[in-house]
Structure 1
Amino acid sequence: MDRRSLLRSAVIGTGAVAFGFTMSREALGYPAQTGPSPYGSLQAADANGIRLPSGFTSRVIARSTQTVAATGYTWHGAPDGGACFPDGSGWIYVSNAELGSGGGGVSAVRFNSSASITGAYNILSGTNRNCAGGATPWNTWLSCEEVDRGYVYETDPYGNNPAVRRAAMGRFKHEAAACDPDRKVIYLTEDESDGAFYRFIPDTWGNLSSGTLQVLRETGSGLSWADVPDPDGSPTRTRKQVPGTRKFSGGEGCYYTSGTCFFTTKGDNRVWAYDAVNNTLAIAYDDNLTSSPPLTGVDNITGAQAGDLYVAEDGGNMEICIITPDDVVAPFLRVTNQSSSEICGPAFNPAGNRLYFSSQRGTSGTSSGGITYEVTGPFRTSL
């Protein structure tokens, strides 16, 4: 029996799978299984090459190396992680640039209440491989460097304040961040094959200049958090400093909601659910535990008002897949004729009726070919 069949048999027999950790009652429906999307099947590709459910439309917001419409600002290459922020009656979408050699950073595009673009500008530059990150409750964007001993930068989406390097959040191959306002911590993923899962506890919530970096570890008695002795990561990398550190295969996206931090790992195509209330860990999705899995190459993750998760693919067949609160996984959209790219930066505007994302390398397959999109339609806001 191969690994997929073996693990799927375990799911069928027990309703959940535990590998050295405790399953909470809320996790008994995990892992998600293939089923029909609440939005129906994908239609034929539109003029932008995107297959969407009926009633949804797409438009191109920006293209790398080209001027953003109605502005004089040139959009960055290799667009990656992103988020939306309220701006009066409009909103702002920020997008990382995953470029090396000091070419990384963050750009922002501003929309008015009718979704017309009114401006675009830079909020961080001179950094390296800004991959994902996370929004804070105080409306800043944490941009993470995906390089060895990389930093987290706190940036201002509104363009009023300079970006600040937050060294206290540790130096490692950062991927994503998710704020937990209930416990006043920030979860962090690490893009290494033996990466760790971290949390940062600021000395003062809302001020990231100082605090304690901790790593999740696993012992005979279960999961616990331990202080990282040297967050600077030199000479010993942060993921190797604490005995019993729980290892994850290539940490990617990270999203917190209602007591649970969902995060993805690309090495095993999993979506994890860390129950912060009960300090337990569950597998919310695994392509080896799902019949005819639609989601592969898991990467960035975000959530919608109804409780649906949206997971972007790096590879696979260039889809954003939905995982519903009743643990059904299905394609939501597919980008066609861009097989040398990846989908990045999914984020909803504050009203929850527009979804933004990028194809990092577009149709050209190069970092200068990135395309940032908007999808509009009848997104559900409640179940």
Structure 2
Amino acid sequence: MDRRTVLRSAVAGAATISGAAAFSGSLWAGAALAGPAQPGPGPYGDLLPADGNGLQLPAGFTSRVIARSGQRVAGTSYVWHPAPDGGACFPAGTGWIYVSNSEVPLVGGASAVRFAADGSIAAAYRILGGTNVNCAGGATPWGTWLSCEEVPLGRVFETWPDGSRAAEERTRMGRFTHEAAACDPDRRVVYLTEDEEDGCFYRFIPDTWGDLRTGKVQVLCAPADQVAGPVTWRDIPDRDGFPIFTRWQVGAAKHFDGGEGCWYDRGTCWFTTKGDNRVWAYDAVNQRLDLAYDDSLVPPGAAPLTGVDNITGTPGGDLYVAEDGGNMEINVITPTGVVSPFLRILDQSSSEITGPAFSPDGFRLYFSSQRGASGARAGTDGITYEVTGPFRR
């Protein structure tokens, strides 16, 4: 009997209230979780039949297509990149900017769409080019976008969403198979995930907060089988990862099965691992690791969230987790420990959902279907969407 069968058998016999296990206290207060999230009724109700864009949404929400790979962004002359991946939103005057990576070899990079105050598209343009398989990344408190290369010895590039400066390489943040980044302004560190089957969870401590050119890289350390409990951090001896990869340099490092999305808010860094369909919660205040979601801890056939990938959150504490595959959903995990589908894309089963990010006012959610209906690995049929509605804030 494998690990998942054992865990599911245990959970199936446990009593839950309305099918959901509540988190202990506030998710954001650094308290240990009472138990990983369980399926239950979502805050927005059931999904309705698909709209004209092929999206199933709750009542009160609407969608529009912002861009399609290989086609000009509406109202501009800019051709949208293939394989749209990680993304984030930034304030820009009376409007905002959505940036999106391109997960393709050699040309990779990132693009941006600028919106006017009324939500209309004002411009689209390139902010990074000539890089390699730019997967996810993260926003900084000083308004830049960290675009990460998902290749061995991959690099981090700091970019300016408004295009006012050329992107700059930040190799002191470590050379490894980068996925996502999340800034912790309280401890003045940047957390980093690694997309390898035996990847690690890192943090970069800059010498000066706001300047990522110099600093040190550390790796999270804990027993291999630990899913909850205290952790420590140790320095990486050689951040360049050659000839020994960074993930193999510290014997006490804890390894994670395919690090993906990363999101920080008020003392907690949430990150996901796709190999075991987990959402982890790193309590930065108490230096403790917990599980916020694990599909093996859900009764058989009841897991709403599989293919766990990119993640974002809201000021009110809701987490939005996108699926790579699964049934092409973005699921919401509430602070009370309930996980449920928020939206579903139909007829795109060979794609993945990437780059979820909220506009600064919190009423618009942006994301992409990386390969669209065709599922072409080159990402030539990628689609970037916007969903508008009464999001909880």
TM-score normalised to structure 1 length = 0.94
1:257 maps to 2:265: yes
CA contact (8 A) 2:30 2:268 kept: no
Question: Number of residue pairs matched?
Answer: 374
**How big is the shift at 1:7?**
2.1
Secondary structure of 2:31's counterpart equals: helix
1:239 maps to 2:243: no
Partner Cα distance (1:202, 1:92) in 2: 26
Partner Cα distance (1:10, 1:139) in 2: 45
Secondary structure of 2:380's counterpart equals: helix
**How big is the shift at 1:243?**
1.3
- Structure 2 alignment gaps of length 5 or more: 23-28
Match of 2:25 in 1: none
Aligned residue identity for 1:157: P
CA contact (8 A) 1:83 1:135 kept: yes
Secondary structure of 2:97's counterpart equals: strand
CA contact (8 A) 1:64 1:371 kept: yes
**How big is the shift at 1:103?**
1.6
RMSD: 1.9
Partner Cα distance (2:351, 2:5) in 1: 30
Aligned residue identity for 2:31: E
Match of 1:90 in 2: 95
1:101-120 to 2 correspondence within 5 Å?
102-120=106-124
Partner Cα distance (2:320, 2:53) in 1: 20
1:141 maps to 2:164: no
CA contact (8 A) 2:82 2:104 kept: yes
1:107-256 to 2 correspondence within 5 Å?
107-218=111-222, 222-256=230-264
CA contact (8 A) 2:198 2:258 kept: yes
Aligned residue identity for 1:337: D
TM-score normalised to structure 2 length = 0.92
**How big is the shift at 1:13?**
8.7
**How big is the shift at 1:189?**
0.2
Match of 2:52 in 1: 47
Using the aligned pairs only, state the percent identity: 68
Q: Deviations over 1:281-337 (max 9, x none)?
A: 011000010130100000000001221000000000000000000010000000000
Partner Cα distance (2:57, 2:189) in 1: 36
Q: Deviations over 1:130-174 (max 9, x none)?
A: 000000000000000000000000000010000000010000000
- Structure 1 alignment gaps of length 5 or more: 17-23
Secondary structure of 1:6's counterpart equals: helix
1:380 maps to 2:392: yes
Aligned residue identity for 1:164: E
Equivalent residue for 1:65, pick from 58, 66, 70: 70
Match of 1:368 in 2: 380
CA contact (8 A) 1:29 1:327 kept: no
**How big is the shift at 1:222?**
4.5
Partner Cα distance (1:82, 1:59) in 2: 17
Partner Cα distance (2:203, 2:30) in 1: 24
Match of 1:28 in 2: 33
Aligned residue identity for 1:159: G
Secondary structure of 2:336's counterpart equals: coil
Secondary structure of 2:362's counterpart equals: coil
1:320 maps to 2:312: no
**How big is the shift at 1:5?**
4.9
Q: Deviations over 1:92-139 (max 9, x none)?
A: 000000000x12000000001100000000000000100000000000
Aligned residue identity for 2:204: F
Partner Cα distance (1:58, 1:157) in 2: 24
Match of 1:79 in 2: 84
- Over 6 Å off, 4+ runs: 13-16
Partner Cα distance (1:253, 1:38) in 2: 23
CA contact (8 A) 1:249 1:267 kept: yes
1:331 maps to 2:341: yes
**How big is the shift at 1:29?**
2.8
Aligned residue identity for 1:53: P
**How big is the shift at 1:363?**
1.0
CA contact (8 A) 1:29 1:326 kept: no
**How big is the shift at 1:9?**
5.9
1:247-326 to 2 correspondence within 5 Å?
247-291=255-299, 292-326=302-336
Partner Cα distance (2:2, 2:293) in 1: 18
**How big is the shift at 1:2?**
5.4
Q: Deviations over 1:206-232 (max 9, x none)?
A: 000000000011259942100000000
